[in-house]
Structure 1
Amino acid sequence: MIKLLIADDEHIVIESLKFIIEKSLDGVEIVATARSGREAIEKTLNLKPDVVLMDIHMPGINGMDAIRHIKSTHPDVLFIIITAYEYFQYAKDAVNLGVFEYLLKPVNRQKVIKTIQDAKEVIYNRRETIQREMILREKIDKIIPHMEGQFIYSQLLNSGIIKDINFYEEIFATKLEKGYVMMAIVKEIESLGKEENLKNSLLKQKFYNFFQLELKNLTRCLIGPPLLDRITAYIPIVEDMDDYEVRNQAIDYGKKIMMKINKLMKIDYTIGIGKSYDIQHFSQSVNEAYIATSLSEENDVIHFEDIHFSSNTTADYPAGKDKMLLHKILTGELKEVLEIFEEIFWWMSTYYKEDIDQIKSKLIELVILIQKTIPSSVEGNYKLEDGYLIQILKIKNIEELKISYLNYLKTIVVNLETSKEKEIKGLITKAIKYIDKNFNQNISLNDVAKEMNMSYHYFSKFFKDSTGENFVDYLTNLRIEKSKDILKDATVNVKEVCFEVGYSDPNYFSKIFKKITGMTPTEYRANGLSQEVM
């Protein structure tokens, strides 16, 4: 069925056309008639006919102008002009407007029937084309997620150059040669029964679905299906995009997802981000993203480059308690480290029935794993040497073996934290030196973060945790202190002082100065000079 509207100012023409159509054509419904151009526009907008039979000369807005107006909002409407005027200019305008047919009055019955049948066929063909496209689009939409999963899964299992990269780029309509991995891991939830297990599984699936939806809304990416406790996404980037810009943009994506998830559900998870690489190094970005998730706090986002010692840690964490032990060692949680080891040692003692040689063997494996995990940049006697392995072999008593190992773990954690504090102290010293050197320039938090090779998100938190105040407050206080010294020189006017400490607006400088000191720069100078005289 197609919908048709007749627009003509002559009543007899309208009735004649209605009679011809209703008696001679099936599948055509006359939805309305109009006696003017304005009425034709209004009814077309409201009723959305497929075909409009339009007279050219009508009171008010003429037929040509009405067609132009309707075309601007409903370009798919077919127009058949019926007119008594055979002017060349009208025919030319009709062609330019894409009019389907141009008929002259008095109308020929067979010509009207043939024209509307032709229009009907065009509309049906168009509908069939749209329907086929929709069906094809639906099929593609169902296939694409499977193709994404295949791409991600194949990369996780088979690192290296993708031979058919061009095929995937054509399928996904995006360049894939360079990008980074974002990974979300849900913390395993301990439950008591089947019903609780089902609830936890549904909650995890809801998390994965929401993560996928939000990331897709933020950027073009490929996302694999959830595997075990995690979901992995590959975000392609433009080849010439600055790495620092990519890093901060990636963290922004993660933070936005995190904010929405935290509002929607209560679940413990971490989001980790690897560095950007060429596609053949996909597995490296995967490993980095996994390390980031393992070392970040719950319900947080962290980039691999924002982790201390991250470039030296290993990605091959063992599953279960071993993995948890390594995580707690690197995060400096001594109490948890000792508690987890107690569980591991209890299991070993029970499983091996106090066979000390078997226990030693497993502990030595764990020692080697911990040694690989401890950053190679860390020096000192807590970076275990072969002598400790020999010491383990010499121990004859299980309890003595346990105590020795506990002491070993304590030494590692304490000294790692000491090393970390030294590194943090060195980093904040470097940041403060940079600010002190450039305080009179137009520097921002982003400038200092880039100098420190940290993302601005991480540096902002790092700076406040280390100094007790945020970057803007620190810079403002530093500038005011410097300005106090300069104001002691009476030959330098306040405007010059303003510029020397990094401000471009003297009025703003005076306002900030008074807010911090309780006096304007002029009052401060006068007060200082009067005290000197006294």
Structure 2
Amino acid sequence: MIKLLIADDEYLVIESIKFIIEKHVPDVQIVGTAASGREVIEKAFDLKPDVIFMDIRMPGINGIDAIRQIKNTHSDIIFVIITAYEYFNYAKDAVNLGVYEYLLKPINKQRLVETIQNISDILSVKREAIQREILLKEKIDKIIPHMEGQFVYSQLFNGRVIRGIEFYEEIFSMKLQHGYVMMAMVDDFESDIKEENLKNSLYQQSFYDFFSLELKNLYPCLIGPPLLDRIVAYMPVNQDIDAYEARNMSMDIATKLMERIHRNTKIRYKIGIGRIYDIEYFSKSCNEAYTAASVSESDGVTHFEDIVFHLEKVDTYPINKEKDLIDRLLTGNISEVLEVFEEIFWWLSTHYKDDIDKIKSKLLELLIMLKRAIPYEIEESSIAEQSYFTDILKIHQVNALKTSYMNYLKNVSSRIEDLRKRELSGLIAKSIKYINENYHRNISLDDAAKEVNMSYHYFSKFFKDSVGKNFVDYLTERRIEKSKEILKDGSVSIKEVCYKIGYSDPNYFSKIFKKITGITPTEYRANALSQEVIG
């Protein structure tokens, strides 16, 4: 069925066209008529016809201008011009606007019928093409998620250099050459009750579904299939984006994602984010995301660069118990370190039984892994002394070997914790120094975060945990303390004091000052000056 709108200011012309169509042309519905340019524009918007018969000369907006305006919003409508005159200039405009036919009044019945039939053929072909396109899109929409999963899965476990990356970029409609990995890791849950485990599995699957749906709504990305307790997303980024900006953007996305997921699931999880690399180094970013998630608090987001120690070499090892040991060791969690080592040692003693030399060999391999994973500063502090290799070789009892190795791990963990405290202390000292030197400027949390190379999300929590108050409160108190010193100089106006400590609004300064001290700057100055006189 073709929907037709007729626009002409002559009643008899409209009735003539209607009569011919109703008598000689089936499958055409005349959805409306219009007698002016403005009216046809409005009805085209409301009725959405397939075809419009348009008179050139109408009151107000002429037919050509009406076609031009309608084309701006409904480019697929077919236009047929009807007119009593052959206007050459109008004919040229009509051709430029893609008008299908140009009919002269009085309308010839045979010409009108042929025109409608030809338009019907055109619309049929167009509709068939649209149907084929819809069917093709449905098929592609079913295939693409599988290709997406295979793409991410392949990068996770094969790590091969991708050939024909342009093909995948076209398939997924996004640039893939550069990006980072975001990984969500679900907290372990084990129960002796079968129903509880089943319920948790359903919750876990629901979480993965929400994660995929909400993340794709927030950012164009590729998401792999769930892998036991985790799900991996590849987040493409522009090559020219600033690394610091990209880091904060990734934290924003993850934070918004968690807010949305919390509304739909109660399962406990954490999100880790790796750094940006070329696609060839996908696994490097993936292992960084895993490390970040491993050290993150439950229901938290951690970027790899926000970990105090940048574990440049951890990513070369498989994700297994050995890697768990390294992760927990480098975060200073000694109780978890010993728990993981218990599992490793149990496996060694079970599989190699009384072959203590084989157990020693495996433990020495693990020791080498630990040495390589420990940041350079700690190696220099002689944590993994060469003499310990000799000590292991001298032990001849399995239990003594286990005890010795556990003592070694405790020693490593203790030294890492000491270094962590020193480094954290240095970072907070650097932050406070920055505030003290720049309080008079319009500085922000983001400025201070950049100074110590942290994302503002992580720095905000880090600063509050270390100082006991948030950044804004600390900066405000520092400014007020400095203002008290300046107020004792009666030659400096209140407005000047305001500007000297970093505020631009004297009224706001007075309000904050009173909130903290209980009195206005003017009252404080009067008290301070009177005490000097008395003194």
Q: Which runs of 5+ in 2 are unaligned?
A: none
Q: What corresponds to 2:2 in structure 1?
A: 2
Q: What corresponds to 1:477 in structure 2?
A: 477
1:245 partner SS: helix
2:184 partner SS: strand
Indicate conservation of the 8 Å contact 2:314/2:323, yes or no.
Answer: no
* CA-to-aligned-CA distance 1:497-524 (integer Å, 9 cap, x gap): 2222222232222222222112222221
1:30 correspondence with 2:29: yes
Q: What corresponds to 2:183 in structure 1?
A: 183
Partner letter of residue 328 of structure 1? R
Percent identical: 62
Indicate conservation of the 8 Å contact 1:40/1:66, yes or no.
Answer: yes
Shift in CA distance, 68/381, structure 1 to aligned 2, threshold 3 Å? closer
State the TM-score, normalizing by the size of structure 2: 0.87
* CA-to-aligned-CA distance 1:308-355 (integer Å, 9 cap, x gap): 212345225565544444333333333333444445545555555566
Indicate conservation of the 8 Å contact 1:185/1:269, yes or no.
Answer: yes
Shift in CA distance, 287/524, structure 1 to aligned 2, threshold 3 Å? same
Q: What corresponds to 2:333 in structure 1?
A: 333
2:378 partner SS: coil
1:298 correspondence with 2:298: yes
Shift in CA distance, 316/15, structure 1 to aligned 2, threshold 3 Å? same
C-alpha separation between the residues in 1 aligned to 2:86 and 2:318?
87
Within 5 Å, which residues of 2 pair with 1:81-100? 81-88=81-88, 91=91, 94-95=94-95, 97-100=97-100
Shift in CA distance, 86/332, structure 1 to aligned 2, threshold 3 Å? same
Q: What corresponds to 1:416 in structure 2?
A: 416
Shift in CA distance, 47/442, structure 1 to aligned 2, threshold 3 Å? closer
* CA-to-aligned-CA distance 1:53-76 (integer Å, 9 cap, x gap): 345567888766765665454332
C-alpha separation between the residues in 2 aligned to 1:104 and 1:282?
67
Shift in CA distance, 494/146, structure 1 to aligned 2, threshold 3 Å? same
1:167 CA displacement: 3.6
Indicate conservation of the 8 Å contact 1:18/1:30, yes or no.
Answer: no
C-alpha separation between the residues in 2 aligned to 1:61 and 1:426?
74
Deviates more, 1:310-319 or 1:434-443: 310-319
Deviates more, 1:32-41 or 1:115-124: 32-41
Shift in CA distance, 82/495, structure 1 to aligned 2, threshold 3 Å? closer
C-alpha separation between the residues in 1 aligned to 2:104 and 2:315?
81
1:471 CA displacement: 0.9
Q: What corresponds to 1:108 in structure 2?
A: 108
Indicate conservation of the 8 Å contact 1:268/1:299, yes or no.
Answer: yes
Give the RMSD, CA atoms, in angstroms.
3.3
Q: What corresponds to 1:138 in structure 2?
A: 138
C-alpha separation between the residues in 1 aligned to 2:283 and 2:8?
70
Q: What corresponds to 1:124 in structure 2?
A: 124
Indicate conservation of the 8 Å contact 1:79/1:100, yes or no.
Answer: yes
C-alpha separation between the residues in 1 aligned to 2:39 and 2:436?
74
Deviates more, 1:2-11 or 1:483-492: 2-11
1:4 partner SS: strand
Within 5 Å, which residues of 2 pair with 1:279-358? 279-317=279-317, 321-346=321-346, 348-349=348-349, 352-353=352-353, 356-358=356-358
Indicate conservation of the 8 Å contact 1:181/1:286, yes or no.
Answer: yes
* CA-to-aligned-CA distance 1:127-151 (integer Å, 9 cap, x gap): 2232333333334434444444444
C-alpha separation between the residues in 2 aligned to 1:97 and 1:380?
77
Deviates more, 1:51-60 or 1:216-225: 51-60
Q: What corresponds to 1:466 in structure 2?
A: 466
* CA-to-aligned-CA distance 1:380-418 (integer Å, 9 cap, x gap): 877232333433343344444444343333333233222
Q: What corresponds to 1:165 in structure 2?
A: 165
1:372 CA displacement: 3.4
Partner letter of residue 135 of structure 1? L
2:496 partner SS: helix
Q: Which runs of 5+ in 1 are unaligned?
A: none
2:440 partner SS: coil
Shift in CA distance, 222/490, structure 1 to aligned 2, threshold 3 Å? same
Shift in CA distance, 488/60, structure 1 to aligned 2, threshold 3 Å? closer
* CA-to-aligned-CA distance 1:436-490 (integer Å, 9 cap, x gap): 1222222211111111111111111111111011111111111111122222223
C-alpha separation between the residues in 2 aligned to 1:293 and 1:325?
14
State the TM-score, normalizing by the size of structure 1: 0.87
Partner letter of residue 29 of structure 1? V
Q: What corresponds to 1:446 in structure 2?
A: 446
Deviates more, 1:345-354 or 1:219-228: 345-354
Q: What corresponds to 2:224 in structure 1?
A: 224
Partner letter of residue 491 of structure 1? S
Q: What corresponds to 2:371 in structure 1?
A: 371
Q: What corresponds to 1:76 in structure 2?
A: 76
C-alpha separation between the residues in 2 aligned to 1:422 and 1:5?
80
Indicate conservation of the 8 Å contact 2:294/2:327, yes or no.
Answer: yes
1:79 CA displacement: 2.8
1:259 CA displacement: 1.6
Indicate conservation of the 8 Å contact 2:348/2:359, yes or no.
Answer: yes
C-alpha separation between the residues in 1 aligned to 2:503 and 2:45?
59
Deviates more, 1:146-155 or 1:108-117: 146-155
Shift in CA distance, 338/153, structure 1 to aligned 2, threshold 3 Å? closer
C-alpha separation between the residues in 2 aligned to 1:223 and 1:521?
57
* CA-to-aligned-CA distance 1:156-213 (integer Å, 9 cap, x gap): 4454654433444444444433332222333443255766555444443433333333
2:134 partner SS: helix
Partner letter of residue 485 of structure 2? D
Indicate conservation of the 8 Å contact 2:479/2:502, yes or no.
Answer: yes
1:248 CA displacement: 1.0
* CA-to-aligned-CA distance 1:347-383 (integer Å, 9 cap, x gap): 5555555665555444444444433333332258772
Indicate conservation of the 8 Å contact 2:6/2:52, yes or no.
Answer: yes
Deviates more, 1:305-314 or 1:160-169: 160-169
Indicate conservation of the 8 Å contact 2:284/2:315, yes or no.
Answer: no
